[in-house]
Amino acid sequence: MSSQRSPILVLCVTTLAFLVCFVVWMMFGVLGIGLRTELGLNSTEFGMLTATPVLTGALLRVPLGIWTDRFGGRVVMTLLLVLCAIPVFLIAYATAFWQFLAIGLCLGAVGASFAVGTPYVARFFPPEKRGFAMGFFGAGTVGAAVNLFITPSLQAAWGWRAVPKIYALALLVTALVFWLGSATDPGAGKSSGPWYKQFQVLKNPKIWKYCQYYSICFGGFTALSLWIPQYLKGEFGFSVVTAAALAAGFSLPGSVLRALGGTLSDRFGAHKVTWWGLWVAWVCLFLLSYPDTSFVVSTIDGPRSFHIHLGVPAFVGLLFILGVVFAFGMASTFKYVADDFPEQMGVVTGIVGLAGGLGGFLLPILFGVILDWLGVRSSCFMFLYGIVWVSLILLYQSSVRQVRIDGTAQQVTE
């Protein structure tokens, strides 16, 4: 019966499962604001609290990707949803900082659902539509925006300790819905030989380029989704609810437009979407990096004071654009993967997803360390600006310049 499910139905229920997982994965970005005051955390400790679940979600992507190739996405995703409900429920009873970190490591497994769903849904579609399918599934990262709306409301209504209990129940309900709507994985069991031989794919240099792209787009998206609510609260004095709602101006487009990014990658190629998306991100981050500044300039008419400040409308607008290009970059990266490694999508998705997840884990911690060190709130954008600039140089050297050289050589030969 399950083998007769339509690809669209499978895509929809898998995307729903990923969305719920992402809500749970990102919830410390909101709950952590109150916990920061309750536990007396500094910026570095706050970064550790929000980033700990991201670490596990990153590290588990490789084994879950391998298991998806061997046992099928339907079985692996269902087990993941059921088992992760346990640590999520236990958060409601944590009282010490180390307990939140320990439980966060366990619940972070929901973030590895990406490595299960991406190869799973791709196998139900022909190659020319896989960019759309993976982009549509990737839109489940809208859970980051859903978290910014739902978690503050639940916290305000019933207190923060009720939120994990509600989310644990949501995971169990989602597991049931997913099982009923999903189908047997058509690619399950095709991987043969010892599991460690699947890592021979790491010898291919393309893998490392894709890891670089994804660590920027997904890592930056995840880190900023966790960091921006408290940034808005501190920079503009908003309440937690208002700060979370405005932060959705970044998370929402960075999620729902992945399907469009996948479609653009199908039509124009993954390289063009990645290249131009990083350029737009570089410009946005340059503008976001400039701190609130007052200075005096000596003119022919005497001293003149100037004040440079990025207002809320401009700030949210730039975040929106940044979210869009990150969404396109996330989708284009896996278009690369689907085109170049169609028979090894599980393990390659896990490896690339691991790089992105590690970026999402390290960046919030680095944001906190740099903030404690410099005391400049916009230093998080300064850091990302530098990373994107280096990545553009590397992308030019490895791809754009090589394409131009090869094209010139071909013309000379002709």
Q: Kindly report which listed range (2-11, 18-27, 398-407) carries the lowest average pLDDT score.
A: 398-407
5-17 pLDDT tens trace: 788 899 999 999 9
Nearest to 283 by CA among 394, 397, 388, 391: 388
Nearest to 107 by CA among 155, 150, 52: 52
388 in a structural domain? yes
pLDDT at 410 over 60: no
pLDDT at 195 over 90: no
Dig out the tokens for 26 from the structure.
Answer: 């990102």
pLDDT of residue 401: 53
Provide the 10 A C-beta neighbour count for residue 360. 29
pLDDT of residue 192: 55
- The whole-angstrom separation of Cα 365 and Cα 213 is 20
392, 286 contact by CB (below 8 A): no
What DSSP string describes 146-182? HHHHHHHHHHHHH-TTHHHHHHHHHHHHHHHHHHHH-
Q: What is the mean pLDDT of the chain?
A: 82
- The whole-angstrom separation of Cα 301 and Cα 317 is 36
> DSSP assignment, residue 377?
T
156-184 pLDDT tens trace: 888 888 999 999 999 999 999 999 998 88
pLDDT at 413 over 50: no
pLDDT of residue 282: 92
pLDDT of residue 345: 67
**Mean pLDDT of the region 339-357:** 75
Percentages (nearest 5) of helix, strand, coil residues in the chain: 85, 5, 15
128-141 pLDDT tens trace: 777 788 778 877 87
414 in a structural domain? no
> DSSP assignment, residue 312?
H
221 in a structural domain? yes
Residue for token digits 């898998």? 14
- Give me the torsion for CA of 173, 8, 2, 69, rounded to 10°: -90
pLDDT of residue 1: 40
301 in a structural domain? no
Q: Kindly report which listed range (123-137, 204-218, 271-285, 342-356) carries the lowest average pLDDT score.
A: 342-356
390 in a structural domain? yes
CA–CA distance from 268 to each of 125, 281, 287, 335 (Å)?
19, 19, 28, 11
Total count of domains within the chain:
1
pLDDT at 263 over 50: yes
pLDDT of residue 4: 62
- Tell me the CB-side half-sphere exposure of residue 192, using CA atoms within 13 A: 1
- The whole-angstrom separation of Cα 199 and Cα 341 is 13
pLDDT at 69 over 60: yes
Residue for token digits 């990658």? 265
- The whole-angstrom separation of Cα 26 and Cα 28 is 6
Residue for token digits 């896996």? 334
299 in a structural domain? no
Q: pTM (2 decimals)?
A: 0.67
Q: Which domain holds residue 170?
A: 7-190+203-291+308-406
pLDDT of residue 254: 66
Provide the 10 A C-beta neighbour count for residue 83. 14
Q: Look up the CATH number of the domain holding residue 144.
A: 1.20.1250.20
300 in a structural domain? no
55 in a structural domain? yes
222-256 pLDDT tens trace: 888 878 888 888 888 888 778 877 887 777 776 67
